[in-house]
Structure 1
Amino acid sequence: EPQVIQYLLTSLFANISSAEVSCVAHVGDIAILTLDPANWSIHFHWPWVSQAASEGDGEKVMSQYKIVLRNMIRFVHDTVQQTKQHYPLVVQFRAGCVVYANMTSQGFLNVGWDGRDLVAFEVDKQCWEARQPSQVAEVVGKSLNSQKSVRMLLEYLLSIWICQSNFLTLKRYGKEILERKELPVATVFARTPSLNQLLLVCHVTGFYPRPISVAWLRDGQEVPLGPALNTSTILPNADLTYQLRSILAVAPRDGHSYVCRVRHHSLGTRSLLIPWENHSTAPNISITTAVLLLVATAFAGGFWWWKRR
């Protein structure tokens, strides 16, 4: 699975003299920092993030980010005036890097305008490209492309600093958190919504990281996707792990064996196999036993009464 580091910035422009900026950064699904909208101060969620930020070019970036935010606000207001747009307005930035298992990477920077993709910076080409056929996208793209020094700076930040220096430094300082592995715990049980249907439920919880594979095996063969198979989305737990359920609809006493198979990064090359134990005959056995006991008791009572008479 590739790893993603991303900075998500949202700016709300209520009018020509107002701008509220907030930002959050994640490595994978772990929040590492947030920007306080009130005073633009940075809150580091972990001590190791602060350490990583002060190393190398990170210190320079941290010292210049407020200037970048002021320039961004001024640019948006100028664009609104030039294109005769209206307030209120929301502008969003998504910047970061996708790092693959072989350590190749791809930086990205996308800009959204009122909920729609506006422009994106193509790192390999060192240029901005429109993502919608509008006057705003044309004006913004043309203006940003005219600033060669900014384009060169963005190419460096996205391909070198975020994808290599920043990412590797965060991985080094936050290794224990970023490479955490928690084993999945799986249980299998059945529900009977009707007499002619049985729902086999495989509940898997407590695993980390998020990617996981859960499948049902019928007589050793994987059950293909279809209307009888329903797997939930992966949901977060309060302890920063995840859970999901996979439900398979079958006919009661169909003569097949069923196993829930779980594959996860924490298990390595192994698989977790949880069989469903078919106890469908247990109720019949219990009822039969109860009837026999009742008959025996009645017979013994009748014999005692006959003897006493």
Structure 2
Amino acid sequence: MASSLQGNTLKQWACEEEAKHPKLVLYFQREVAADSCAVILTELLGFCLCVSGFHIIQTIFGCDLRGRQHHSGETMTWVAADIGAQITKRRWDAEVDDNQGWNLYLEEECILWLRSALEYGKETLQRKVRPTARVSDRSSHDGLTTLSCKVSGFYPRDITVTWLKNGESRQQETYSEGILPSGDGTYQTWVTMEIDPKIKAHYSCRMEHESLLEPLSVFWGKAFLCLSVFLRCLMLGATCLCNDAGREGMTLECSEEAD
């Protein structure tokens, strides 16, 4: 689900570009796209000898930009998704003029439009929002304890969250829920790990994110939770809130303060 901020960016870009190039947009939508779909659909119906019912074809195309370099259409050939598409692939590969036209569009016109979109949305797309972490624990099976680290409110999307035991990564023992959109233009993720509370060890949830000057760690521990994390947060210039949840566990929230 796209965030409302990204949706506004795309809408603004679309309106601006259509105002700049109304004839080009109209031509592409009505002539190129419509005609291509009609030809492809007619061709497919001929292959399957379909004479009745509803038939739908969906297409998607676009360009990808990384930094200032981009590559697309290097081989000038089509890729068949399955065996049934081999006939169409061979025919399209033979249409050299059409392929050159598509390649020209993807490498030039599409890139220009993409750069325009990035320019319109740079304030939103290039922002950096620091994460907030919440550490908690709960009783699990066979006397074990499940540690949970919820990290939320961060942007951009990429983040590394890892549980540490005595300062060493326990990535193999960690379960992640994946990175999900929060609905407000930021992202969230959960990382859990099962431990034996009888084994004395120091556990912490470590976050690495583009918005942080250095990795941020939130510590867990029944006896020393509040004190140790509070001292650590002071060192990082962060704000922490410690909460006693009773027998079922304890939670802690920590986030690095803005400069």
TM > 0.5 between the two? Answer: yes
Counterpart among 96, 100, 125 of residue 66 in structure 2: 100
Aligned length in residues: 221
Identify the structure with bigger relative contact order (alpha carbons < 8 Å, sequence gap 6+): 2
Relative distance call for 1:81 and 1:187 in structure 2 (3 A) is closer
Stretches of structure 1 that go unaligned for 5 or more consecutive residues are 1-25, 33-43, 108-122, 282-309
Are residues 1:185 and 2:120 paired?
A: no
Are residues 1:132 and 2:82 paired?
A: yes
SS of alignment partner, residue 62 of structure 2: strand
Q: Is the Cα–Cα contact under 8 Å of residues 10 and 117 in structure 2 kept in the other structure?
A: no
Deviation at 1:214, TM superposition (A): 0.3
1:250 aligned residue: 195
| Root mean square deviation, CA, Å | 2.9
Q: Deviations over 1:237-273 (max 9, x none)?
A: 1212211111111111411101100111222x41111
SS of alignment partner, residue 94 of structure 1: coil
Are residues 1:157 and 2:124 paired?
A: no
Q: Is the Cα–Cα contact under 8 Å of residues 49 and 174 in structure 1 kept in the other structure?
A: no
Separation in 1, partners of 2:129, 2:59: 33
Task: Using structure 1 for the length normalisation, give the TM-score.
Answer: 0.63
Give the letter for the 2:108 counterpart. Answer: I
Q: In percent, how many aligned pairs have the same letter? A: 23
Are residues 1:272 and 2:216 paired?
A: yes
Q: Is the Cα–Cα contact under 8 Å of residues 182 and 208 in structure 1 kept in the other structure?
A: yes
Separation in 1, partners of 2:23, 2:172: 51
Deviation at 1:100, TM superposition (A): 2.3
Relative distance call for 1:30 and 1:94 in structure 2 (3 A) is farther
Stretches of structure 2 that go unaligned for 5 or more consecutive residues are 226-259
Q: Deviations over 1:145-178 (max 9, x none)?
A: 343332111101112222x312221111221122
Larger Rg: 1
Separation in 2, partners of 1:221, 1:129: 45
Relative distance call for 1:70 and 1:195 in structure 2 (3 A) is closer
Separation in 2, partners of 1:129, 1:195: 52
Task: Using structure 2 for the length normalisation, give the TM-score.
Answer: 0.74
Q: Deviations over 1:8-60 (max 9, x none)?
A: xxxxxxxxxxxxxxxxxx8xx9447xxxxxxxxxxx853244224545xx555
